[in-house]
């Protein structure tokens, strides 16, 4: 599996992303799908149970699939795993699936990419209950400064929802956060990650190359704990 080069852009969360020179993508695979880390040739991926596609009938099979591939070369993180109060299984089933995935990540020393929609209390309760050592990354973040700082205080990383981060009003949030905890993503939306980097670099008063260096360091820290 290839890892990002020192001058690469990193798209930390995408679905069926396009492979371009100079852009490292971390592709999200879901445990209910036919695609697995085993048939994704030479490409870094996350692999986990998305709460939208979780049922009482498939939870055990999906957990077994994660355990099967957890040490595959391509699988560098568990996820996207998490909670969603707007769509998906019951919160009780989501909690079981999420916490089982956290236990797998801890046992195998793999970080976690998290999906969370209107369930921050549940997520923080799981964090307190399990007290994980491996890093967690919230993908698609679009919350308040106060929520961001609460999550950062638990050692989490944040990757910003592109529809939010491209807006002018996101600048205040970005400026308020430590740079060593941020990532950028396309989430498979068809936008160029380089466009997102340019906007965020301006917000943070950095050059694009300086922002690339920051996110490369963050990636290495996230991956290795």
CATH number of the domain where residue 198 is located: 3.20.20.140
181 part of a folded domain: yes
pLDDT tens per residue across span 179-217:
999 999 999 898 999 999 999 999 999 999 999 999 999
- Span 19-46, mean pLDDT? 92
User: Can you tell me the distance from the alpha carbon of 48 to that of 52, in angstroms, rounded to the nearest whole number?
Assistant: 12
208 part of a folded domain: yes
179 part of a folded domain: yes
Q: What domain range is 178 assigned to? A: 9-224
> What tokens were used for 115?
């999906």
pLDDT at 225: 65
Least confident of 40-49, 86-95, 112-121, 135-144: 40-49
Q: Does residue 4 contact residue 216 with C-beta atoms inside 8 Å?
A: yes
User: Can you tell me the distance from the alpha carbon of 102 to that of 134, in angstroms, rounded to the nearest whole number?
Assistant: 9
203 part of a folded domain: yes
> Which one is predicted more confidently, 2 or 77?
77
1 part of a folded domain: no
Q: Of 171, 178, 176, which Cα lies nearest the Cα of 201?
A: 171
3 part of a folded domain: no
Residue 86 above 70 pLDDT? yes
What mean pLDDT, rounded, does the chain reach? 96
pLDDT at 19: 78
> What tokens were used for 69?
């591939």
Number of Cβ within a 10 Å radius of residue 191: 15
154 part of a folded domain: yes
93 part of a folded domain: yes
pLDDT at 185: 97
Phi, psi of 209, rounded to the nearest 5 degrees: -65, -40
- Total count of domains within the chain: 1
19 secondary structure, DSSP code: P
Residues ≥6 apart with Cβ < 8 Å to 137: 12, 77, 79, 111, 112, 113, 114, 156, 157, 158, 159, 183, 222
pLDDT tens per residue across span 68-77:
999 999 999 9
For residue 80, say if its preceding peptide bond is cis, omega within 30 degrees of 0. yes
Residue 18 above 90 pLDDT? no
pLDDT at 173: 96
């Amino acid at each position: 599996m290839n890892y990002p080069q020192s001058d690469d852009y990193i798209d930390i969360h995408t679905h069926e992303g396009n492979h371009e020179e100079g852009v490292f993508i971390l592709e999200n695979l879901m445990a209910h799908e036919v695609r697995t880390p085993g048939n994704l040739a030479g490409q870094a991926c996350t692999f986990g149970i998305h709460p939208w596609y979780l049922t009482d009938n498939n939870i055990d099979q999906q957990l077994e699939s994660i355990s099967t591939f957890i040490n595959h070369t391509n699988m560098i993180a568990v996820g996207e795993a998490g909670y969603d109060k707007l769509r998906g299984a019951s919160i009780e089933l989501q909690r079981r699936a999420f916490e089982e995935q956290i236990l797998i990540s801890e046992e195998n020393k793999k970080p976690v990419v998290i999906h969370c929609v209107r369930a921050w209390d549940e997520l923080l309760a799981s964090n307190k209950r399990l007290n994980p050592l491996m890093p967690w990354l919230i993908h698609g973040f679009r919350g308040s400064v106060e929520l961001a700082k609460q999550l950062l205080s638990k050692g989490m990383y944040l990757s910003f929802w592109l529809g939010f981060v491209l807006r002018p009003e996101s600048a205040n949030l970005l400026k308020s956060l430590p740079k060593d905890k941020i990532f950028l993503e396309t989430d498979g939306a068809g936008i160029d990650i380089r466009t997102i980097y340019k906007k965020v670099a301006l917000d943070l008063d950095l050059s694009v190359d300086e922002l690339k260096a920051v996110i490369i360091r963050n990636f290495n820290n996230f991956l290795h704990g």
